[in-house]
């Protein structure tokens, strides 16, 4: 099979990947973009999006990603519905391999492989995804104004999500496995002072129920102990806040990653530890994880890649 040669390979899609492709195509870099396991990224699993500029009436995640994709195609990006399975960043040009065994030889690379929220592993989470189950309070909290929601988790992220939702929802339950919050002292105090947040300590979620969406959660308190207790709590929304896992496994040993697996970039640029390789979107962002910030870093990565290629006399 003949090698595919390109000035710029974009690994991953979503807001970061497609935006990088738009900018790179307009710069005549003729990028090749591999869409990955989930073409369009996490947003394709989201229902309505109302916080992305340019969509005053809101839009569906799948439709917005289709808009991004079509715009990148319009400017000449080559989009491959495939997965990059191996990378070798030890020297330029970089050599990558896809799931069909084809080698892609690239003068520069932008990694946009995203991240995925950690779930409890319940069948009901998949059943009600987009119908009351969410892993992003900032994205979906608005839909639960004056409603009752639950947040699973006991760390700083869970407390932040609960506090954010408490300004919208009428009631917020925090479902915490342990008998204490793992969050910082400041976050604990803020949560405990909020009248509409109730913490359910030593509780595990065992299921969700509802006809056309989430109507309640089934919990067990003191699991495995003599005073084990099963009970239901009516809710309208169920938010996961137990962390995210960046999709960066294939870059271990190739790029510098932090303790959680996020790609480390050289601020204020998107440059990684390997000259010519850049990272954008959630795979390099453990903090914001928003569509608009991912799109912004996709733009920056394309501009960084263009400058790198000019300086390297590859353009």
What digits encode the pLDDT tens for the residues 174-198? 999 999 999 889 889 999 999 999 9
| Cβ(257)–Cβ(249) below 8 Å | no
What is d(CA 262, CA 290) in angstroms, rounded to the nearest whole number? Answer: 15
Give yes or no for residue 315 having a pLDDT over 80.
no
Give yes or no for residue 246 having a pLDDT over 80.
yes
pLDDT at 49: 84
What is d(CA 150, CA 231) in angstroms, rounded to the nearest whole number? Answer: 15
pLDDT at 43: 81
* E strands, 35-74, in order: 48-49, 59-60
Assess whether 66 carries a catalytic annotation.
no
Closest CA to 286 of 127, 157, 111: 157
Give yes or no for residue 239 having a pLDDT over 80.
yes
- Token look-up 């405990």 returns 192
pLDDT at 60: 87
pLDDT band at 130 (very low <50, low <70, confident <90, very high): confident
Enter the tokens of residue 279.
Answer: 């990272």
| Cβ(244)–Cβ(118) below 8 Å | yes
Question: Mean pLDDT lowest for which of 36-50, 87-101, 143-157, 277-291?
Answer: 36-50
Give the strand pairing for 148-152 and 171-175.
parallel
Assess whether 123 carries a catalytic annotation.
no
pLDDT at 267: 94
Name the residue with higher pLDDT: 91 or 38.
91
Closest CA to 11 of 95, 118, 117: 95
pLDDT at 29: 96
Strand partners, 260: none
Give yes or no for residue 166 having a pLDDT over 80.
yes
Give yes or no for residue 114 having a pLDDT over 70.
yes
Assess whether 311 carries a catalytic annotation.
no
Give percent above pLDDT 90 in the chain. Answer: 83
pLDDT band at 201 (very low <50, low <70, confident <90, very high): very high
Question: Mean pLDDT lowest for which of 5-19, 43-57, 159-173?
Answer: 43-57
Which of 96, 112, 140, 304 is catalytic? The answer is 140
DSSP for 221-284, written as a single string:
ESTTSTT-EEEEEE-SEEEE-S-EEES-GGGBTTB-B-TTSPBP--TTS-B-SSTTEEE-GGGG
What digits encode the pLDDT tens for the residues 11-50? 999 999 999 999 999 999 999 999 998 888 888 866 678 8
Which of 96, 139, 203, 283 is catalytic? The answer is 139
Which of 96, 136, 159, 283 is catalytic? The answer is 136
* pTM > 0.75: yes or no: yes
What is d(CA 206, CA 15) in angstroms, rounded to the nearest whole number? Answer: 34
Closest CA to 238 of 115, 164, 129, 105: 129
Enter the tokens of residue 19.
Answer: 């935006």
Give yes or no for residue 82 having a pLDDT over 90.
yes
Closest CA to 173 of 100, 242, 237: 237
Give yes or no for residue 284 having a pLDDT over 90.
yes
Give percent above pLDDT 70 in the chain. Answer: 99
What is d(CA 8, CA 137) in angstroms, rounded to the nearest whole number? Answer: 35
């Amino acid at each position: 099979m003949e090698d595919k040669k390109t000035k710029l390979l974009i690994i991953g899609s979503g807001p970061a990947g497609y935006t990088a492709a738009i900018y790179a195509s307009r710069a005549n870099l003729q990028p090749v973009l591999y869409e990955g396991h989930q073409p369009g990224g996490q947003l394709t699993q989201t229902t309505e999006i109302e916080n992305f500029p340019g969509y005053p009436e809101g839009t569906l995640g799948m439709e917005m990603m289709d808009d991004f994709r079509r715009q990148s195609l319009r400017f000449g990006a080559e989009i491959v519905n495939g997965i990059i399975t191996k990378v070798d960043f030890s020297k330029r040009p970089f050599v990558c391999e896809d799931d069909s065994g084809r080698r892609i030889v690239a003068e520069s690379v932008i990694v946009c492989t995203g991240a995925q929220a950690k779930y409890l592993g319940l069948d009901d989470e998949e059943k009600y995804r987009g119908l009351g189950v969410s892993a992003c309070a900032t994205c979906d909290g608005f839909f639960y104004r004056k409603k009752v929601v639950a947040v699973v988790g006991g760390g700083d992220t869970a407390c932040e999500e609960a506090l954010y939702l408490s300004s919208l929802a009428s009631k917020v339950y925090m479902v915490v496995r342990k008998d204490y919050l793992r969050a910082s002292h400041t976050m604990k105090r803020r949560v405990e002072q909020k009248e509409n947040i109730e913490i359910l300590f030593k509780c595990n979620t065992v299921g969700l129920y509802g006809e056309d969406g989430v109507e309640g959660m089934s919990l067990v308190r003191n699991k495995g102990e003599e005073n084990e207790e099963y009970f239901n709590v009516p809710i309208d929304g169920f938010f996961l806040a137990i962390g995210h896992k960046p999709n960066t496994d294939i870059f271990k040993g190739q790029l510098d990653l932090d303790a959680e697996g996020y790609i480390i970039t050289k601020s204020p640029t998107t440059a990684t530890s390997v000259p010519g390789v850049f990272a954008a979107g959630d795979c390099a962002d453990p903090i914001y994880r928003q569509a608009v910030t991912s799109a912004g870093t996709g733009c920056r990565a394309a501009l960084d890649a263009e400058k790198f290629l000019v300086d390297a006399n590859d353009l």
